[in-house]
Each structure stands twice: as structure tokens, then as C-alpha cells.
Chains A and B, each alone.
Chain A
Amino acid sequence: MNDIATPVKAKTPSAEELALIKKFLSDTTLFLGPDPEIMQNHDLMPRTEAEDEAIRKMSDAHTIAKIRDRIQAGCDEGYEMVEQMGAAPGAKWGDVITGVYSASGDLAIASAGGVLIFSALVHHPIKFIIKNWMNDPTVGVREGDGFIHNDSRYGNVHNTDQSMILPIFHEGKLVCWVASTVHEGENGAIEPGGMPSMAESPCDEGLKMSPFKVAENYEIKRDILTFLQNSVREPKLQYEDMKVKLFACLRIKQRIEETLKTDGPSALVSTLRLTMENVRAEVKRRISEWPDMTVRTYIIQDSTLRENCVVKINCKLTKTGDRLIFDFRGSAPEFTNRPTNTIVAGLKGMLAQVFLCYVWPDLPRGQAAFAPIEVITDPHSIVNCSYDAPNSQSLMSIFTGFTAGQHAVAKFLYSCPEKYTKVHAPTFNMINTFIWGGVSQHGETLGNLCADLNGMGAGATVDRDGEHALAPIFATMADIGEQELNEEDVPFLQLVSKKMTRDAIAPGKYRGGQGYTMIVATKDSEQWGFMTTCQGAKIPPLQGLFGGYACGAYPLSKVKGVDVYDVLLDTPEKFKHSIEEIMNEQPFEGASYTTHHMGMGFEISKRGELFMISQGAGAGYGDLLERDPAGVIRDIEQGLISPAVAERLYKVKFDPATLAINHDATAAARDAERKARVARGVPYAEFVKSWNKPTPPSHLQYFGCWGDDVGKLYMGDVGKYREAAAPRPNYMPHPKDVRIAELEARLAALGALGGEKQ
């Protein structure tokens, strides 16, 4: 025992000493990590003196509307530039945003299209720059500077998205910022494509760029660029898109300068500030029209992308007066070595998307729309993860969090007379697509994905079916792109593409929009592979609405030991155009046919082997017995549902040859089914006696709270949990070690371990 450890009564430092300590600490900061003060706050910055003064000089609503439209058009122009010139598939198909930020860093006006999740996220790195680099003599913020950023811990969805950020000066004074953000794909992580599901720590996730300067005098610095190019698998893409983003920002800057010339800086500053303040006030007014209520829901993630398990996203949404509070406490604890965690800003960005795209699409795009809405989470949880947790697959938690929000919000909107959209069942939320990488037929190293992730099926609404393969929940104006164009650059074909997957349904009075089949096979490269990063092969990642059903489950199927290109050449009649036929009929002799969950780590493929998946369906709305029989027949005719399944579920009676509906028989069958429901249904009080269990089932690895007890978070086992407010490590074993242990146990049971020394 030494003297130093002996506790002594601390002396209270004087004010002078406190100031000295503070100065010492700030002068000797070893590391500027993500700043919780910045990262936990999504509200608008307080109005500055400069903004006050600008508003005093100009607050005319018509002038503001005019300038806002000009800036909006400038943002849209920048967006178009990135979309047209960007090299990343994400850029080409709209996984982009451009925007103008206030001098304090709030996103005031964003491009109308693109990924609006960024609208509540990419203000964080600008605030970091303002706080830390502006007055740092070794960095500084000057006219002509450009800053790059991708590390989600400083404010981003995941580090496959890169931003270019430019300060805009007028007569030497900073008036605003412009930025452009693109889902670039490749970022040098342990797997190609930028979203590694194998990452077990942030160090496996590739480039982690905290905000730093990469351009001076509007020129990209070659030394830093070369370093960045060496850090990723696609050096050409890295350079090209940095330039594209820089030039998009410069175009927006040009539009801002035109405004500065015609209307002066006060008008610009006033427009940015008042746009945000007005949107924020309008959002509070709209919320006050909702019923005061608490709505509860949960969404289950059925895997970590490495193994199947049950991971709960718990959501309680409470509206009181003009306050709206998302309470995600009770959601699963963060995984210490799985990348499905998200920083809380990512969750907030995606919730902002619920409102900007699905509830109030008329509002100006920007940070203000979500600013007054409150979010509560447990610390170190899967929806508010710590600095040390990997988060390259944050989409899994961001998207299921979105769906919890979308599902809860619908229950508020139904009774509210003031509507800007129709009440909407949850849209499909998983990126069912192939991520790919390797060396192309042209000898280039590539790593990216098929834009089919943008083909999520839409949820049904109050008066119509969901649309098929409509749009991704994170970018409702995005496109699926042309697979044929993509195939000029990559060494594989989508042998089946855009064909609806029959019977992968979400039934209801109005059914969900369905997803399509994708069958891919590598052709012209010996160094090419695929990965898939989705949940939902065992448990649907949605809930239905008002009696509608969610979607089903979506697995990955593989056929190996076949070169399908030889088959197509020699015996083309053997090839089938659906997963159903290929897997059930097994037409290729000697091939192996297997199924898997949708978290396939990067896997090198051989020529002609098949990888097969389907996009998913949005949820259904309302009781399926109320579905118009003609709609059911139309679904049969369009190959969405097989006749037997349609008849069994929807109780529609029709002639099997002509599909002519027998309306009387249908009405009778539906009446009989309603009576059968009343006969088989059990009164609630009696039902819960046998159904409710005090703990999660022992046969499932369960993560999160059970029932209403949000204070106790289970960590994979009934006996293993943490207090919600007291984080603990949550390690998962390697799935191969789990499998080896299982097999060794079987060998041991058989006495076949062969006396191996331990």
C-alpha cells in the first residue's frame, strides 16, 4: 500500500485555480474525439447576434420565400451535378444530399431529392470544425478551404458516406457553409463495398476520417488525396467523387454569391435562420393537432449479420400538447464486436426521414423539421452506441428504428383531421441487394453494390395497395438504375432481375407492394465475390397496420457445383427463372442447393454459381377479408400470389380456369371465416394466462427488455442481463467457434474425439 492511494480530503480550488486547470486541460488535449455536446444534440443552435441583426434588417416573408427558392434551386442543381457526374453507384442513383448550412452549422436548406437521413446528421461535423478548427492556428477556416469527413462517430450514417464541406465567406466574414454528401461505397474496410458486416471493432471498418482539410484555394491537396487513394480499393472513385463533390459545392456557392450580390448578406442570413425557425414552429403546431396518446411497438432484428438471434428495437412514442417524444429505452444493448450498432444521430436522421418523406413531405428540407422532436435512449445501446463499438452496419438498427417510428406514427395520424399524406403501413426496410467486389473483366479493382437496394416494396395505405419495388425508405426519390449499364463494368450478370417473387406477400385489405427476385452469377473474373447484409430471414422486420400483415421472411439461396453459363449454352431449357423452381426442382445434376440467412460475409464466387435473393414487401393494411376480390384475382394474374394461397387466405372463390369470381360463394366463405375467428379466438384475459411468459424463451438468444420492464436488458440468455443505465460488454463468440464446439460435443458424445490431448 502506498501513500499516494490513501484518500485525503480534497482542497477546493479557488476560481483562479479553476481557470488555470481549465486552461491547462484545453491546452494539453491529447485527442479531440467526438464531442458529446455536439453529437447528442439535434436541435437548432441558438440564434446568434449576427442572425438577430440580419433579421432586424430583413424579415419580409416574400423576399425570404424568393431567396429560399433560389438557394433550394442551387442545392438541387448541386445534387443533379453529383448524380450525373459521380462515379459511385450510390451517387448515380440518388444516395446523395447537398445543402446550405448556417454559420453556426445548422442545415437550413437541403436538396429536395436524395437521402434525407443526412438532413439531421451532417451538421455535426460542421459544428466540430467550428468548435475545434476555426480558432486553431494549425488548421483554421479560410476562404477556399474544403473539409472532408466520413467517420460516423463525428456525425454520419456510416463511414461509407463521404462529405465535402466548404465555408462561404462574404467580405471576409463567414456567412454560411455548403456541403455535399454521397454514399461512396468503398472505404478500405475489411470487406469491399464500405459496409463490412465482419467488422468486430471500429478498426476493421476502413477509413475513419474525422473532419479535416483536404482543399485549399478550392483545390484538392494532392498529398492527402494520394494517402486517401492508398487507403481504399477504388483509388479512381476516391479522386473522382472528391472532385465532383467539390464542384457541386462550388456551384451552390455561385448561387449563394448571386444572392449576396442582389440581396446582400443580411437577407441570406435572415432567410437561412427564419426558414429553420418557421419550420420548427410549424412542426410543433402540426404535432399539437395529433391526439395526446402513448403508442408502443417493437421491431425485431433476427440477426447480427453474423449469427441469428433476437434483437429488440423497443419504441414508445408519446405526444403531449406540442411535444413528441420517441423513447427507445429497452432496446438491445450495444454489441461490443458486431457492427449493427448505430450512433444516436443516425437513428434521429432516419426518424427525420419518417416525417420529411412520409408524413410532412411539403416541409422545406432541412434539420429544423426534426429539431423539436425528442429522442430518449439507453446509453451504450444498439440505437446509441459508444465510441468503441463498430457501426459499419448501423443501417440494420437505423432502419428497424425507422420502422418502429413509422408504425407508431401511423396510429397517431389516423384520427388527426389535418393530413399531408395518407396513413401508411410500414415500408420494407432491408437493403436486399448484392454488395460486390473484386477485380473486374477490365482488370480494375472494384467494391460496391447493386442499386436494387433502392427497390423496397412500399407499405399499403388507407385506400390503396402498396407499390412494388418503389423506393428505399432512406431516399424516396431514388432510382433502381439500369442493371445492363452496370454489367458493362462488372464481371457478373443478373440472370433474373425485376421479376416479382410470387407468394412473398404481405396480405391485407390493401396488400403491401412486393419485391422482386435477383439471381446473379459471376462470369468474367476469377477474383470476384458477393456479400448480403440484411436481417429478416427468420423474423419479418416489420409490423402490419390495423389488421394487415407484415411481409414474410427472405433468405439467401445458393447453387454451387454448376456453371450456369455452360448450362445456358448446352441445355438452356434446364434454366428456370425463379428461386422457387430452381430450389424445388433442383434442375442441375450434381450441384449443391443450400439456404442461408441474409448476412453473408464477403464470399468469392466461381463462374456460373448462383446467388439468389428477393427484395422485400411493404406491410399490409386492414383485414384481408375486406380485400376487393377483383384485387385478389389481379394479384394472381400478375404472378404476385399463387391461386391456392390466394383462395386459402383471402377466402375468394373463383373458377380455376377462367379466374371468374363467384361473388356469392366468396361472401359466404368470408362470413364463415369471420365466424370461425370468433370460435377459435380466445378472450384476452384467458389468452395471456397461457401465452405470457416472465422471461424470454430459453431457446432464443434474446437481446433487449422483455415486456414493459425496460430497466433490465437481456444479453443473449435468461441469466445474463444488464441494468439499462449500467453498460456492460456484450461480446458474441465467432460463429465458426460455436459450430466447432457443437461438432466437438457431438464427437465427444460419440466417443470419437480420439483421445485428443486438451
Chain B
Amino acid sequence: MKVPMTEYLCVDLDSEKWECRVCNHEIGPATKGYKEGMLVYDRDPREIHPPIIDPEKYRFTFSPDPEWVRILEYYCPHCGTMVETEYAVPGHPPLHDMQPDLPALRAQWAKRGEVTVPVVGPAVTADQGHSH
């Protein structure tokens, strides 16, 4: 059984592997962090959050300071989907951000049965009653 854990990742409870939900690529053992099966890119934050005011003139520009923070981009090595980002202090070890307890997960899902499309959650709709 496969359990969708994030927008782009699922855990295959039978093989105990992380898988890409976009291309079904087997990323690596679910006993370890999925990031260990990813490609990583050290992104200069100014490329994503462009300076709004002139960096030649000003110390602060609306861009994060690239000497203070970097964006680690994690890509699926097969399809190139950006599975996660991590705003990191330069040199700070990447976090093992999701560490599921596999036996517990298996027991929990044994009772539920497989879902292919995760539950989205209730939509908030506008009230029709009161207006002025």
C-alpha cells in the first residue's frame, strides 16, 4: 500500500521506500530521510526574491542576503520536480524533516485501506445571509 505523505512524495509500505508521486521514481529507503535520494541545488535567494530597489545603491533591497541565507532546492532525480525547499543558514546541515514510524503507519493504514487521491479538506464558502 502507498501512503501519500506530501504533495510529491508517498511511502510504499510494502517496499518501505519513498517514491515520487509525479513519476513513481523510487527515491530511497523510508527509514532514512527522502532528501538523501534527491538532487540538491544551492540557490542564491536573490534569484527567487528579486531586489525591488537598486542593490547598487542600497544595503537592504527586499532580497534576502545571500551571505546570511540560501535556499536549498530538492529535486526528484528522475522527473526534476521540486519536491521541497529549505531556507538554510549557509553550511547548516539539511534537516531530516520527515521521519515516519513505519510499523505504526502500517498498522494505521491497515484499518483505513489505500487512497490514491488524498483528502483535500473542506472548502470555505461565502455566507449568503448577511450583506449591506
Which residue numbers of A lie inside 8 Å of B, CB to CB? 291-298, 300, 302, 310, 312, 320, 411, 414-423, 462-463, 501-505, 507, 509, 537-540, 542-544, 546-557, 579-580, 583-584, 593-597, 614, 621-625, 645, 649, 673-678, 680-685, 687-688, 691-693, 696-697, 699-700, 702, 706-708
Q: How far is the CA of A649 from the CA of B49 in the complex (A)?
A: 10
Q: Distance (Å) between the CB of A179 and the closest chain B CB? A: 29
Q: How far is the CA of A649 from the CA of B43 in the complex (A)?
A: 13
Given A507-B48, A697-B91, the answer on whether A553 and B101 have CB atoms closer than 8 Å is no
In chain B, positions 12-63 with a C-beta closer than 8 Å to chain A are: 35-42, 45, 48-50, 52-54, 57-63
**Smallest Cβ-Cβ distance to B49: which chain A residue:** A552
Q: How far is the CA of A154 from the CA of B111 in the complex (A)?
A: 46
**Smallest Cβ-Cβ distance to A505: which chain B residue:** B49
Check if A553 sits within 8 Å of B89, measured CB to CB: no
Q: Which 8 A-B pairs have the closest CB atoms?
A: A681-B39, A552-B49, A693-B91, A674-B80, A555-B60, A292-B104, A419-B121, A292-B101
Partner of A684, one of B36, B42, B79, B105: B36
Q: Distance (Å) between the CB of B18 and the closest chain A CB? A: 12
Check if A684 sits within 8 Å of B121, measured CB to CB: no
Extra pairs beyond A422-B120, A700-B89 (4, CB < 8 Å): A291-B100, A310-B68, A546-B84, A583-B54
Check if A553 sits within 8 Å of B100, measured CB to CB: no
Interface string of B55-78 (1 = CB under 8 A from A): 001111111110111011111011
Check if B54 sits within 8 Å of A417, measured CB to CB: no
Q: Distance (Å) between the CB of A708 and the closest chain B CB? A: 7
B87: A residues at CB distance < 8 A = 300, 539-540, 542-544, 550
Partner of A688, one of B41, B86, B94, B104: B94
Instruction: Tell me, yes or no, whether B99 is within 8 Å of chain A by CB.
Output: yes
Check if A547 sits within 8 Å of B81, measured CB to CB: yes
Check if A462 sits within 8 Å of B98, measured CB to CB: no
**Smallest Cβ-Cβ distance to A308: which chain B residue:** B68
Check if B85 sits within 8 Å of A549, measured CB to CB: yes
**Smallest Cβ-Cβ distance to B90: which chain A residue:** A697
Which residue numbers of B lie inside 8 Å of A, CB to CB? 3-8, 35-42, 45, 48-50, 52-54, 57-65, 67-69, 71-75, 77-87, 89-101, 104-105, 108, 112, 115, 118-123
A683: B residues at CB distance < 8 A = 39-40, 77
Partner of B121, one of A320, A462, A549: A462
Given A688-B93, A691-B91, the answer on whether A414 and B115 have CB atoms closer than 8 Å is no
Q: Distance (Å) between the CB of A630 and the closest chain B CB? A: 20
A507: B residues at CB distance < 8 A = 48
A548: B residues at CB distance < 8 A = 85
Given A419-B121, A595-B58, the answer on whether A625 and B41 have CB atoms closer than 8 Å is no
Check if B69 sits within 8 Å of A692, measured CB to CB: no
Partner of A423, one of B69, B79, B121: B121
Q: Can you list 8 A-B pairs with a CB-CB distance of less than 8 A? A: A293-B100, A411-B97, A422-B122, A557-B60, A677-B73, A678-B80, A684-B38, A699-B67
B53: A residues at CB distance < 8 A = 557, 579-580, 583-584, 595
Check if A553 sits within 8 Å of B62, measured CB to CB: yes
**Smallest Cβ-Cβ distance to B41: which chain A residue:** A681
Q: Distance (Å) between the CB of B40 and the closest chain A CB? A: 4
Interface centre among B37, B39, B74, B105 (most CB of A within 10 A): B39
Q: Distance (Å) between the CB of A634 and the closest chain B CB? A: 19
Q: How far is the CA of A69 from the CA of B51 in the complex (A)?
A: 51
Check if A419 sits within 8 Å of B120, measured CB to CB: yes
Check if B8 sits within 8 Å of A546, measured CB to CB: yes
Check if A291 sits within 8 Å of B108, measured CB to CB: yes
A597: B residues at CB distance < 8 A = 60
Given A415-B118, A549-B48, the answer on whether A691 and B42 have CB atoms closer than 8 Å is yes
**Smallest Cβ-Cβ distance to B11: which chain A residue:** A415
